[in-house]
Structures are given as C-alpha cells and as structure tokens.
Amino acid sequence: MIKETNISINQDRLWDSLMTMAKIGPGIAGGNNRQTVTVEDGEARKLLQKWSEEAGMSMTVDELGSMFLKREGTSKDALPVVIGSHLDTQPTGGKYDGVLGVLAGLEIIRTLNDLNIQTKHPIMIVNWTNEEGSRFPPAMMASAGYAGIYDVETLLSAKDAEGNVFGDELEKIGWKGSEPIGKQKIHSYFELHIEQGPILETEKIDIGVVTHGQGLKWLEVELSGVEQHTGTTPMHVRKDTSLAMSEIILAVNNIANKNLPNALGTVGHIEVFPNSRNVIAGKSIFTIDFRSPDINKLDYMDDELRFIAKDICKKYDVKLEINQIGGFDPVSFDKECLNHIRNSAKKFGYSFKDIISGAGHDACWINTVAPSAMIMCPCVDGLSHNEAEEIKPEWAASSTNVLLHAAIAAAN
C-alpha cells in the first residue's frame, strides 16, 4: 500500500506544464501577455481544460467564466478542497504569477492519479477569471464576485480603456458559463503563489506560510488652486497645487515609516493641470496607496494623512478634496489550514516562516466565505509583474509538495 506520507510530485512534469502554458500569449521580453478575456486567455483555458479532462476531472464554468475542475472524492456529499489561482497575466507579466497556483493543482491531481490515491473530499482546481484587473477593474474580479462583494451584473458590465464590456468579451472568447456564481461550495481553499517580493530568497527560506494579507486603502486627492502666468505672478500670491502635492507626497512616506513594520505608503500616479512649463499648476490630482496587515494602523494612517494634508493646503491656500476610491480590510488566514501547510513543510524538512502577503490575491476574498490559506515560494530578486519574473524548478516543486500534503490533510 502506498503511504500518503511519502509521496511527492513530479518536478519535471510540473515545469514542463508551466513552460507549455507560457507559450500561449508570449510577451515581448520572455514573459507573457495573456490578459483576461483575450483570445490568448481563451486558449490557455482550453489547454487547462484538456489537461484536466485527461486527468479524469469534470468541469463547470460560472457566469464570470471561472473554471471549476473536479476530481471526485470517496464521500458523496463532502465539499471539495479547492486549489485555486489565475491564468491571466499583466500586459508585461511573468510566466508564474497565478499560473503556478493553477498548474500546481493539476500536478497534484496527476500525482494522486499516478499513485491511485483517493481522498474523502473531492479536490477541485479553480481558475479565477480576471485576477489581475489590468484590463477590466476590479482586480480579483471573479473571486470577489464569488464572495458576494459585488453583484454579477456590475462585474459583467465593467469596461476597459477602449470601452469594451467585460461580459461581451467573455462571451466572445466562448467562456461565459451558465453556472450561477457561488453555486460551488468550498470546504477549504489553498492558494500557492510566487512571493512577488524578496524576503524568502534573501533569507534562503523554502516556504512562506502566509498568515495575513495586507489591508489596503486607495485614496484620490484633488487639489484646486489658480492657473497663473509663471513670469508675472509673485511667489507670495500663488495658489500652487504642485507645491502642496509635493509636501503631501513626503507626508505619505513619513506616515508609512512611522507605522512600520509592514506599513507601506505610495504615491504612484500624479497629474498636474494644465501640465505646462510656464503655467502654475491650478489643479493636481494624485493617488495614495496605504497598506498594513493591521486595521488600526491602516485607519490611523488614513486619519493622519487627512489631518496633515489639511494643514499643508491651508499653508498654500489651495482647496483639498480626498476620496477613498478602493480598499479592503486586512486578511487573517485560517489557523487550521495554516497548520496543514506548516506540518507539510516539516514532513519534507523544508525551511519555512510566516510572512504577510503585500499583494491582493483571490484567497483574500475566498477567505471571507471559506477557511483559506496561502503558500508562497521564492522568486528571483523579488521581481514580479515583469516579464523577467523567474523561479527555480526546485522552488516550484517544493512548494507544490507542501500544497499536495496540505490538500490531502484537509481532504481526509
């Protein structure tokens, strides 16, 4: 009899699948451009469907196009243990962000099949539609829909920069399913993802046990002053919004530094109007991105910024408006799922440590409706959302081994 405690996945087969998938929607610099609901996304889905059917799995597709691929368990009514992530990429994305989490699931099913191992609960792989959100907002669209954060009609009517409607594009590539959102219930959810940061590689740690997801607040700031001639307006009478903006940008940085560890503050998008060399900027609009795994700190940073910005704008005599345009609360992943991950890493003698996910992931939404946890593997130089994103085959294999044993533990 095969001892389930000794089994491990096939590294070469996993790597081969990753490389085969990467051929669909190649980028211009060795990575991938396989944006959501494009022809390339459709092809990637077809390949996953083919591989899953060859592995004896059944498929359903929901109204947002998410694929649910199921390997039956021995207990008729048991809910599935789900392994999920996403096949879509950024326009200049890598070969592993999201893809590893889905194809690791497939490799696990193939391994269980090879060894003829049955689990009590079914094991299901999910490819969530539009995790990246780069073409159609919001990011993590389908998992948010699944968790009931947005209603389906709102999501289906999302538009890209050219005015294309998400639901129409999904239909065009043939992947608008009929299954109502949320019909597939989940026993527990595991997501393996590349770290997308430098901590694991730098510290030579094999496995990241993701205990929390960063909370996030996106603010949009609009400053209104007066457009005036730069050559004729004395310094002391100006209402210069670019000056006030500069001080607020520094304040964002200071506030984040005051709330370490794990707090982050960034101004990544700025616009000044009329954006002309000899006109004082009468209007400035910019975004602020605050993150922390601690809800109190997140709220504190928001409050502090509003307080300081008010003072700065008074000093420069410009009008201030701040609106929250996005955000989600910090996530605490499920303790039992996390223990399955730690126990699996121990079984193999892999080094592991608790880490916090700085990026949003489908697991963050699924955690609101089912016990969830995430595993991370290192990635070279912490580089992600970049065509040069790279991991080592051994890293893919060790993290998939941990996922395999965590899934088996949850499924029995």
Query: Which CB sits closer to Zn ion, 119 or 357?
Result: 357
For residues 364 and 140, the answer to whether their CB atoms sit within 8 Å is yes
- What is the amino acid identity at position 180? P
Closest to Zn ion by CB, 138 or 220: 138
What minimum distance in Å lies between the beta carbon of 97 and Zn ion? 4
- Shortest Å, Cβ 99 to Zn ion: 9
Q: Which is nearer to Zn ion, 102 or 281 (CB)?
A: 102
- What's the Cα-to-Cα distance from 150 to each of 124, 147, 279, 329, rounded to whole Å? 24, 8, 43, 15
Give residues 310-349 in contact with Zn ion (rule: CB under 5 A): none
What is the identity of the amino acid at 29?
Answer: A
State the nearest-atom distance from the C-beta of 96 to Zn ion, in Å.
9
Measured between alpha carbons, how far is 101 from 95 in angstroms, rounded to an integer?
11
Least gap, CB of 101 to Zn ion (angstroms): 7
Q: How far apart are CA 307 and CA 292, in angstroms?
A: 19
* C-beta of 41 vs 97, nearer to Zn ion: 97
Complex with Zn ion: residue 123 or 192, whichever CB lies closer: 192
Where b means 16+ CB within 10 Å and e means fewer, 204-243 reads: ebbbbbbbbbbbbbbbebebbbbbbeeeebeeeebbbbbb
Least distance in angstroms from the C-beta of 152 to Zn ion = 22
Does residue 31 contact residue 93 with C-beta atoms inside 8 Å?
yes
Interface size with Zn ion, residues (CB under 5 A): 2
Residues 73-102 that bind Zn ion (CB under 5 A): 97-98
Identity of the residue, 18 or 223, whose beta carbon is nearer to Zn ion in the bound complex: 18
Handedness of CA 19, 88, 62, 335 (dihedral sign): positive
Site string for Zn ion, 198-237 (x = CB under 5 A): ----------------------------------------
Q: How far is the CB of 288 from Zn ion (least distance, A)?
A: 23
**Residues within the interface to Zn ion (CB under 5 A):** 97-98
